[in-house]
């Protein structure tokens, strides 16, 4: 069962026709989205407000339509996207937080935030991120641009916020895992440029679990 499957079932019922959605990206099982954009073509004359209310009335509690607007027929939610922002959430404490089960990574160590911040700035800019891709065999271009990386530390909560023009398969999760390896002293902050230059997945750090990752914003 997928979010797309449930959305299309609810949309088809409200629009009174069978429809397929075009999403802004594909996400791994277990990854969340605070904001996800899609487009759908329909012959229905339903209003934008009616669309939001009608579809929300059919959706389960863990999916919600936030807004809707009419766009030109040639609009494509994926290819017209100019950038995305992801966040990765961690609960850093020996004890787990039962209210964040499957919603953030339970990390039992005290993170070295300053080491992580120093390392993170090496990712900013336009680079070949092949070392941070889980499977690049079918990708011709592994060059991406990261606009910014911020690490926010709020008590026991650590949030990594990454904004870029696009991301490779598992790229954010591998960057996060690599920064955790930096925090633990397995990788030095200034090793990051060498790892990027190697274009070798085996040179980078671990892959952080999916459940801490959120697609946070999409830019058009």
Enzyme catalytic residues: 28
- Measured between alpha carbons, how far is residue 68 from residues 4, 36, 65, 134 in Å? 17, 12, 8, 34
Rounded (5°) CA angle 162-168-170: 80
Nearest to 106 by CA among 2, 219, 208, 33: 208
- Measured between alpha carbons, how far is residue 176 from residues 63, 88, 205 in Å? 26, 8, 8
Secondary-structure breakdown of the chain: helix, strand, coil percentages, each rounded to the nearest 5: 30, 25, 45
Nearest to 10 by CA among 63, 77, 46, 72: 63
**Distance in angstroms (rounded) separating the CA atoms of residues 82 and 126:** 15
Nearest to 203 by CA among 97, 131, 136: 131
């Amino acid at each position: 069962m997928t979010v797309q499957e449930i959305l299309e079932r609810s949309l088809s019922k409200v629009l009174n026709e069978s429809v397929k959605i075009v999403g802004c990206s594909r996400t791994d099982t277990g990854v969340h989205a605070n904001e996800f954009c899609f487009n759908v073509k329909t012959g229905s004359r339903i209003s934008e407000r009616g669309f939001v209310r009608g579809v929300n009335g059919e959706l389960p509690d863990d999916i919600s339509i936030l807004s809707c607007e009419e766009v030109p027929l040639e609009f494509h939610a994926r290819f017209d996207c100019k950038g995305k922002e992801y966040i990765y959430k961690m609960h850093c404490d020996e004890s787990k937080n039962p209210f964040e089960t499957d919603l953030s990574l339970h990390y039992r160590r005290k993170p070295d935030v300053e080491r992580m911040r120093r390392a993170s700035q090496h990712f900013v800019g336009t680079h070949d991120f092949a070392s941070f891709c889980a499977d690049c065999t079918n990708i011709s271009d592994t060059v991406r641009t990261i606009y910014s990386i911020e690490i926010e530390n709020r008590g026991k909560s650590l949030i990594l916020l990454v904004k870029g023009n696009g991301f490779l398969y598992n790229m954010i999760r591998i960057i996060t895992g690599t920064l955790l390896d930096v925090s633990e002293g397995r990788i030095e902050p200034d090793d990051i440029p060498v790892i990027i230059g190697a274009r070798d997945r085996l040179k980078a750090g671990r892959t952080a679990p999916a459940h801490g990752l959120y697609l946070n914003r999409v830019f058009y």
